[in-house]
Chains A and B, each alone.
Chain A
Amino acid sequence: MTTTSRKRWVDYLILGLLIFLCFCLLFESHISPPALISWLGHWHPVVLHFPIVLVIIAVVLLLSGKKVSYVLLSISCLAALITAISGFFLGLGSDEKGDLLFWHQLLGAAVAIGMSIWYWLANNGYAKSTVTKGLGLVLLLMIGFTGHYGGMITHGQNFLALPGGTKTDIIPDNPLIYEHIVGRILDAKCVKCHNPNKTKGEFLMTSFEALLKGGESGANIIPGGPDESEFISRLELPIEDEDHMPPEGETPLDAGEIEIMKRWIALGASDTLRLNHLESKDPLAILIKEMMVPDPLEKWAQLPGVQDSTLTRLASDYLTITRIAASSNALRIAMYKPPKYDITTLTRLKVISENIVELDLSGLPIGKDEMHMIAGCKNLEWLEINNTPITDNDLDTLKVLSNLKLLKVFETDIADNSLDILKNIKSLEQLYIWETSVTEPGILQLKKDRPDLEIFSGINSELKTFFAENDTLAIKEKTK
């Protein structure tokens, strides 16, 4: 019968491929693949999806007690073998195997061998035996891990990591240029394709020695010669160029990062160079110091979390609550004079008082209760309470604000008594105080007591006179 003869051919084919796979595995180091074979390896990413799906379907059918058809089983088995072999060809392209690749290959081969065993079992009357079911379960597990490792090889180890979990390690005070700066840039922009598992151009960038050794075109970092280093020239090619690194679609190095690389190579590409070995005027030192400037948002990183829904609930048409920046829990609040002023709009902000870092209540009829609310905002850095009826007593409640940096109290009813309170807010850097009952000698005294405090007490009189005397077009001329 034709069916039996076709079946026999399939048996032979599977046996043949199985033997070939085992041969490949055993004599890997002696094989140098011809170009055509490498090209066949490139089909691995295409064919690999078939065995994953087919094997899973077959195992599910098997475990749920249904009949696994001969056609399904034979095709799955063939697909697993072809994928394993093509994967093996692909793997021959990289000279140094990483852990990921090693396990991926081993498991992939195991899946193919396992499928062949199942094929044999099914054709010899053990289609539904416990051994077969156990084998199915093992295959399911193995194919899961094989696929996972394969995914990590193509997409990078952290591809499946949960978002937000990435930690940015802080650059130490006196960083090693290679380890903390250059390495950091390489990790972010290059290592994805130049690691032991995926070594594009045979250029490994995960260690200092490998970096200097270079890739298939030899050393491409010439210590002391950034202009001769291919490493640099390929970073600087136009983005459309085939040879530009990183390739189109990946994040390129920015100008500062390229400059850092260049200067580091110019200074000898050493792994022991530290920031303090450089002169402070050295362009590399300047660039690195720029990199080390902490993000202004970092100081607010410890603030308690606050939900967007809370902010929407507390805000109104006249009360705007905004995050200082997208990822921050620090808040800026501004209130504009509503037709009917209601104190509870402000007092109910207590639930987010720790998050408020900027508060603008200028022009509102605020008094004692509002000031108590303000005093509860212990992280407050910026406060505008100008054009309000506040007095010395009200201002006294602010003395507990130990983070306050900027305060606007112009056009209020405060008097000299407030100056003592202001003097003792040590964190205060800028003070706007004019059109109040505060006296000029009082201001002068404050200036003397707190030379570090920038006091804006109105436009200076000399300028005022200059502006008053040199008026623009006369009003009559204009209205004519």
Chain B
Amino acid sequence: MDKDKLKQENPLKVNRRHFFSQLSVGIGSLALGSLLIPDLFKQSSQEMASRPLGIPHFAPKAKRIIYLFQAGAPSQLETFDYKPTLEKRMGEDLPDSIRNGQRLTGMTSGQESFPLMPSAAKFKQYGNSGAWVSDFFPHIAKIADDICIIRSMHTEAINHDPAITFFQTGSQQSGRPSMGSWMSYGLGSENKNLPSFVVLTSRGKGNSQGLYSKLWSSGFLDSKHQGVLLRAGKNPVLYLNDPEGISRSDKRHLLDQVSSLNKLHHVETGDDEIESRIAQYEMAYRMQMSVPDVMDISKESAATIQLYGEDCQVPGTYAANCLQARRLAENGVRFIQLYHQGWDQHGNLPNEMAGQAKDVDKASAALVLDLKQRGMLEDTLVIWGGEFGRSNYCQGKFDPANYGRDHHPRAFSIWMAGGGIKPGITYGETDEFGYNIINNPVHINDFHATLMHSMGLNHEQLTYKYQGRRFRLTDVAGNVVKDLLA
């Protein structure tokens, strides 16, 4: 057989002759290189410190993350960023000195004026920390001392898709691995019978934006790190159950046969992907048992059901997903990604946001309390927030009872709880208009770096080489926000 053809067909089958014929050129050029560039073979300190995969780089604070993503971007001005100035200067135009050249979306760029709009929700201070929380969120207000509110998040994106992609993958353009995939890649699985990255979605009545599976894609990483979407209802994982009439022992027999064939192929080609495929089949087989077990909430106590709210018994609701998230966390899933859609209030904000808040307020707080009483807040990091903020001026007709807010990337609020993050603090500050950050900004890259730090990973060291360069979740930026660490 033609030598090149053989190599092309099976790159792993490069034999001794190929090796030697290419070695001479290779060694020669290496030698020349070392003469011309003395430091060519010196390991950079970064490489020296590179660590094996599947183990934290240093002792972690958090072993898993539950990310309560509020898709559509809830307004910071109606959640955690209290701005009395907006009341005083209601209806006045946003000063140019504050807007300072900020680009706008097509939805408000044609607007003649940008009248400042105060919050429809009332604010009060809660807990020993005196955190400001709006009255849309009475339950989250009760856990003010357990959470860390960051009011100084900022991003570059001003539209949903790039913004949410940025949050999930560290890049506004799609194609990079999701952060859950990075964690799975860096830390491996805690429970071999469940995927290490699981996605749960729910939808409120507010104006929604789409969710795409690219948000939980593993990008260029091995597809075993991809997020697995658990659906509401009878069949949480599609095609996991055996067809009618196939018993579990039949299935076992089938898998054994397939695996012996695959092993033959592996001996022939030496391709490690085959081994990981065999392992995936085996995991799916075990998942047939473990997934129904995890999804079954019939043994949850009445007190728990009451805590999360009655609708946690209705599959597909945010509350049900929160309860599910706790159960998945207990079972060693590394990254549990929830999405609740419906936070895109370009109009009718007071009504829509009240409804959205009602969907998530109680269950989010219940999750934190439940994790706390189980000691899981010690090693589980909960994150609540959207992809950007909303404008401090009114979109559309100026009506304090029925206004809208456009997208705003320069400042927005999220909160985190547990997992080595300082509880009971409010971090960062915006100006009196809630438009620009004046203190302790946290960029999405910094946010990612901080999450990875809690999980025991150095964001600069967890890399994957693809298309000729090493990629990281934080790419070329990001600093761990040490002030947030307990």
Contacts and interface: CB of A to CB of B under 8 A. Distances in A.
Interface of A: 45-46, 49, 154-155, 249-251, 255, 295-297, 317-318, 320, 322-328, 334, 336-337, 339, 362-363, 384, 386, 406, 408, 410, 430, 432, 434-435, 456, 458-459, 463-464, 466-468, 470-475, 478-479
Interface SS of chain A: helix, strand, loop or mixed?
loop
Given A326-B52, A326-B55, A471-B309, A320 B191 contact: yes
Contacts of A456: 372-373, 375
Contacts of B372: 456, 459
Given A336-B191, A466-B142, A475-B314, A325 B55 contact: yes
Contacts of B142: 463, 466
Contacts of A386: 374
Interface of B: 35-36, 38-39, 42, 44-46, 51-52, 54-60, 138-139, 142, 188-193, 282, 286, 289-290, 293, 301, 303, 306-307, 309-311, 313-314, 317, 319, 330-332, 358-359, 361-363, 365-366, 369-370, 372-375, 378, 456, 479
A29 B400 CA distance: 87
B374 A328 contact: no
A334 B330 contact: no
B373 A336 contact: no
A31 B353 CA distance: 84
B319 A472 contact: yes
Given A46-B36, A320-B190, A334-B332, 20 more contacts: A295-B59, A317-B193, A318-B193, A320-B189, A320-B191, A320-B332, A322-B55, A324-B56, A324-B60, A325-B55, A326-B55, A327-B51, A336-B191, A408-B375, A410-B373, A456-B375, A459-B307, A466-B139, A475-B310, A475-B314
A339 B139 CA distance: 39
Contact of A410 (B51, B189, B358, B374): B374
A154 B38 contact: yes
A406 B55 contact: no
B311 A478 contact: yes
Contacts of B310: 471-472, 474-475
A336 B374 contact: no
Contact of A324 (B44, B59, B374): B59
A46 B35 contact: yes
A472 B38 contact: no
Contacts of B331: 336
B364 to A, nearest CB: 11
Contacts of A337: 293
A266 to B, nearest CB: 22
Nearest to A319: B192
B35 A459 contact: no
21 contacts: A46-B35, A296-B59, A317-B193, A322-B188, A326-B55, A334-B190, A334-B332, A336-B331, A362-B330, A408-B374, A432-B374, A456-B372, A456-B375, A459-B372, A463-B369, A467-B307, A467-B309, A470-B362, A471-B309, A473-B311, A474-B310
A152 B42 CA distance: 13
Nearest to B54: A322
B55 A323 contact: yes
A49 B35 contact: yes
A337 B290 CA distance: 9
Nearest to A362: B330
A479 B39 CA distance: 68
B484 to A, nearest CB: 15
A325 B373 contact: no
A406 B362 CA distance: 28
A453 to B, nearest CB: 13
B58 A336 contact: no
A326 B58 CA distance: 7
A472 B56 contact: no
Nearest to A435: B301
Nearest to B282: A317
A328 B59 contact: yes
Contacts of A472: 309-311, 319, 358-359, 361-363
A336 B301 CA distance: 21
A127 B57 CA distance: 61
Contact of B139 (A362, A363, A467): A467
A442 B456 CA distance: 38
A229 B359 CA distance: 58
Contact of A475 (B139, B192, B311): B311
Given A324-B56, A325-B56, A474-B310, A406 B378 contact: yes
B192 A320 contact: yes
A325 B139 contact: no
B192 A317 contact: yes
Contacts of A473: 309, 311, 358-359
